[in-house]
Structure 1
Amino acid sequence: MSNIFFNIFPNENFIDLGMYQYGCEQCEPGHSFGPAARNHYLFHYIIAGTGTLMADNANGETQTYSIKSGQGFLIFPGQITTYIADQELPWEYVWIEFDGLRVKEALALTELSKDAPVYRSHSKNLREQMLNEMLYIAHHEKESPFHLIGHLYLFFDYLTQSAKSSRLVKSSKMSDYYIKEAINYIEQNFQNDITIEDIAAVCGINRSYFGKIFRNAVGRSPQEFLMNYRMVKATELLKLTSLSIADISSAVGYENQLHFSRAFKTIYGVSPREWRNQHR
């Protein structure tokens, strides 16, 4: 393995689970990164060596963890962290940065949190399968985005299964039913002029309660989810069709093209036309 190799994932149009960057590194003694905060989840698995993680907990208090081979650590969005390789036996690790609309809900079933960011597997077999998927992704950067996303799903499954909390008993809750109904309604009606009140009404609950349980489960408000979903669909149309910006705006639920362009720029930082030119 070379000292370090690093790749940016070429496509972010995956809603439930997406990847941003990944790589491997054989750290130099004392190599450090931070303090810094990430915009997405970032998972490191330690192949060999040891080192130290300093991470803010849920209360913003910095905690220190010693992490060795066979373990890992998960950095949460917005969490300030610093990590340092040991002077005598520095880390060799592989990492993946990921995010998605279903990530928070899945991680809630594990022992991983801002208060407990160290990964310790309950299963050697699942841990090894997770590592194999991470190494596969890291060494196959020339494969298509869909191919790599398939392996990302396998990695995430092995991660969550191997770190699943023994304290949590999976149960069917009415709130889970509401969230699934809401997401299903959005997926089928995003192109229409729907409101958050419409979505809550489909679930048979009031908007205030709906907004609360949706944010708790998904990690963002219903408005943010709906806008992000529409914008991802818009990028697909921009890249794969020759439809006008006005037609795409209407196709994803915006009758006002100006409102669509503003929402698109909020998510992607450029106008729809600029995005199309950059990705053709």
Structure 2
Amino acid sequence: MHELIFSVFPNENFVDLGLYQYGWEQCEPSHSYGPAARNHYLFHYVISGTGTLMSDDSNGVTQTFQVKSGQGFMLFPGQITTYIADKNLPWEYAWVEFDGLRAKGAVELACLSMNQPIYHARSKDMRENMVKEMMYLVEHKDMPPLHLIGHVYLFLDFLTRSAVHMTAPKTGRLRDFYIKEALTYMEQNFQNDISVEDIAATCGLNRSYFGKIFKESLGKTPQEFLLNYRMVKAAELLKLTGLSIGDISNAVGYANQLHFSRAFKNMYGLAPREWRNQNRLMIPT
């Protein structure tokens, strides 16, 4: 019998780690999804049964994997995939779709890639704890957003620590220090007219090298991170305050309200005023 529990996370204002949707399913024989591409990372853990994953590798060539209970598989943003439950022993799985500035590093730490998307655990205890965190999300969908995001961090912690081949992060201590300095500078100065050169100078690096290590570490360019951070802050102000669009534009570093509105619409699909009307939580009196 086909059973499904499915939830969509309602809050978009988490930059480091965002949760998009999560669920559990007991599939019918030969039940399939795809071919399709996701916008974010999507991890499935197979609780029982078996099935087949067909996914494009980094060269765009479709690879086929048999996945059984106790294993899992990662789908990557923009990757074309199809997955099919076995006709005799269809799989039961839980899944979490996530993204954010910390997502790419966590997935790499778990030794998962488009060329090697299958999860194998080296520790039964940590694997079981990972599954508990996935099912906690499924069973507690009405908990506050910060509470659920905390359990996504725990899920990723157990995912990375339970991976078969544990490796040290690619970035060294000095590079981590530079990235932390850059993030702190942007978070403290996003409302000002700052440039990538300014951020690089804060770290004592030239612009080209800084941009390279930033993109390698976080999967986004400094410009992309700064834009994303400003728009998330703008969304918070639109949702939680009665400030005018012009005031919010200035508060997130845009002297030109038209430029701000265009950037906001590019990210959220709605003009700031329309987005506020649909997402407003409260207006202080």
TM-score by length of 2: 0.95
Pairwise mapping of residues 262-277 of structure 1 onto structure 2 (< 5 A)?
Answer: 262-277=262-277
Match of 2:4 in 1: 4
1:111 Cα offset (Å): 1.4
Closer/same/farther in 2, CA of residues 143 and 122 from structure 1, 3 Å limit: same
Match of 1:245 in 2: 245
Question: 1:115 is paired with a residue of what secondary structure?
Answer: coil
Match of 1:40 in 2: 40
Distance 1:4 1:230 in 2: 37
Residue type at the aligned position of 1:260:
F
| Aligned residues with identical type, % of pairs | 67
2:283 aligns with: none
On the 8 A contact 2:36/2:80 being kept in 1, the answer is: yes
Secondary structure of the structure 2 residue equivalent to 1:95 = strand
The answer as to 2:228 corresponding to 1:219 is no
Aligned to 2:279: 279
Measured in 1, the distance between the counterparts of 2:154 and 2:75 equals 20
In 2 relative to 1, CA 99–262 (structure 1 residues): closer, same or farther, beyond 3 Å? same
Cα pair 2:5 2:25 within 8 Å, conserved: yes
Alignment of 1:90-239 (within 5 A): 90-163=90-163, 165-168=165-168, 172-239=172-239
Aligned to 1:14: 14
Q: CA deviation at 1:2?
A: 6.9
**Displacement of 1:58 after TM fit?**
1.1
Deviations 1:189-213 (A, max 9, x none): 1111111110011111111111111
Query: 169-178 or 77-86, which moves further after superposition?
Result: 169-178
Shift of 1:153: 1.1
Secondary structure in 1 aligned to 2:264? helix
Alignment RMSD, CA only? 1.5
* Partner deviation per Cα, 1:103-151 (whole Å, 9 max, x = no partner): 1122222211111100111111111011001101011111111111111
Shift of 1:167: 4.6
Quick one: distance in 1 between partners of 2:238 and 2:183?
A: 23
- Give yes or no for contact 2:106–2:156 (8 Å, CA) kept in 1: no
Structure 2 vs 1, CA of residues 207 and 53 (structure 1 numbering), >3 Å: closer, same or farther? Answer: same
Change (3 A) 1:65 1:180: same
Q: 1:263 is aligned with what amino acid?
A: A
SS of alignment partner, residue 142 of structure 2: coil
Distance 1:125 1:111 in 2: 19
Where do 5+ consecutive residues of structure 1 fail to align?
none
* Contact 2:2/2:28, CA 8 A, preserved across alignment: no
Cα deviation, residue 35, structure 1: 0.9
How far, CA to CA, are the matches of 1:93 and 1:205 in structure 2? Answer: 46
Q: Give structure 2 stretches of 5+ with no counterpart.
A: 281-285
Contact in 2 for aligned 1:109/1:165 (Cα 8 Å): no
Residues 48 and 91 of structure 2 are in contact (CA less than 8 Å); yes or no, is this contact kept in structure 1? yes
User: What is the identity, as a one-letter code, of the residue corresponding to 2:149?
Assistant: I
Letter of the structure 2 residue corresponding to residue 200 of structure 1: A
SS in structure 2 of the partner of residue 66 of structure 1:
strand
Contact 1:40 1:97 (C-alpha < 8 Å) held by counterparts: yes
Alpha carbons 2:29, 2:86 under 8 Å: kept: yes
Moved more, 180-189 or 82-91: 180-189
Instruction: State how many pairs are aligned.
Output: 280
Classify the secondary structure of the residue corresponding to 1:108. helix
Tell me the residue number matched to 1:59.
59
Shift of 1:164: 6.3
**What letter is aligned with 1:112?**
L
Query: How far apart, CA to CA, are the structure 2 residues paired with 1:242 and 1:164?
Result: 51
Match of 1:83 in 2: 83
2:2/2:27 contact within 8 Å kept: no
C-alpha distance in 1, partners of 2:248/2:164? 42
For 2:211, the aligned partner's letter is: G
Equivalent-residue separation in structure 1 for 2:172 and 2:3 (angstroms): 47
